[in-house]
Structure 1
């Protein structure tokens, strides 16, 4: 895992509202804790099999405007909600064009096949359609924000 990937992970966690994230792979262990102010304190330890552990490095990340959440940050009472995730990497847009109204709002009722947003990838605008019917509870990404594959975009109450 390189430094750029770690910085992106820090930004994602700082904006997600998650209190703590631990990631362990073969040779890397990362713990990221967020504070009430939205800052993220990161402890990064790389352990190599034949060597002693490297010293811990603390990194402070300033809060950002992007509102992103993951399933781990959804409270227990929200477990009845279904998360609609991004099928591709790209830029998230809530409107088909700047002069048009948004596709959906919090509280809107959606049906299977309704367009929820557009994700631009490599100059192609991909309409993201709902696979379920229900009511939009929360929009998890700000307009014109970059999104990753499988990143949560919407919380939907299917009842």
Structure 2
């Protein structure tokens, strides 16, 4: 039942002079009460609480992500000696200048300060992202053609 049907039902009840009308269908309950000074409409959908109950249960297994999160500090400790190249803008991350060209950098590639490491497309413009440090690419943190946020880590570079 859509909103237009509900509105026409309310108008019909108001014109008929009935003081109260209850309508129950398999997924919706509607009660319309009219009085001399004010009218009251109560709409209860039974299907919505049933649909939200599984959503309430879904966040409960928060313990599952906690296990990888506890493993993450170990990785962070190892990564502390590396310099992170972060996204300066929001957009779509690309490792290659075009689909038929090789990637700008791979894991193990040596980069110098000012070398292009990727491009980020923002509003149909392709912005070349340059390395701020010289070193060796240790890890690529973002998948090709993925959306990235401002200040999101893209690469880990070993400056030594």
- Would you say same fold, with TM above 0.5? yes
**Whole-angstrom CA distance in 1 between matches of 2:104 and 2:89:** 18
**What are the Cα deviations for residues 47-91 of structure 1, in whole angstroms up to 9, with x where unaligned?**
xxxxxxxx9972779xxxxxxxxx968431221001110000000
Higher-Rg structure is: 2
TM-score (norm 2): 0.55
**Whole-angstrom CA distance in 2 between matches of 1:60 and 1:123:** 40
| Structure-2 residue corresponding to 1:100 | 101
Q: How does 1:31-46 map to 2 (within 5 A)?
A: none
| Structure-1 residue corresponding to 2:50 | none
Q: Secondary structure at the match of 1:76?
A: helix
Task: Give the 4+ runs in structure 1 shifted more than 2 A.
Answer: 71-75
**What are the Cα deviations for residues 6-59 of structure 1, in whole angstroms up to 9, with x where unaligned?**
xxxxxxxxxxxxxxxxxxxxxxxxxxxxxxxxxxxxxxxxxxxxxxxxx99727
Cα distance change, pair 158–114 in 1 and its aligned pair in 2 (3 A) = same
TM-score (norm 1): 0.55
- Structure 1: state its 5+ residue gaps: 1-54, 62-70
Cα distance change, pair 126–59 in 1 and its aligned pair in 2 (3 A) = farther
Q: How many residues align?
A: 96
Cα distance change, pair 124–73 in 1 and its aligned pair in 2 (3 A) = farther
**Whole-angstrom CA distance in 1 between matches of 2:143 and 2:89:** 16
- Which is richer in helix? 2
Q: Secondary structure at the match of 2:80?
A: helix
**Whole-angstrom CA distance in 1 between matches of 2:98 and 2:115:** 17
- Structure 2: state its 5+ residue gaps: 1-55, 63-71
Asked if 1:91 is matched to 2:92, the reply is yes
Q: CA RMSD in A?
A: 2.4
| Structure-2 residue corresponding to 1:138 | 139
**Whole-angstrom CA distance in 2 between matches of 1:148 and 1:73:** 24
**Whole-angstrom CA distance in 2 between matches of 1:86 and 1:73:** 24
Q: Secondary structure at the match of 2:79?
A: helix
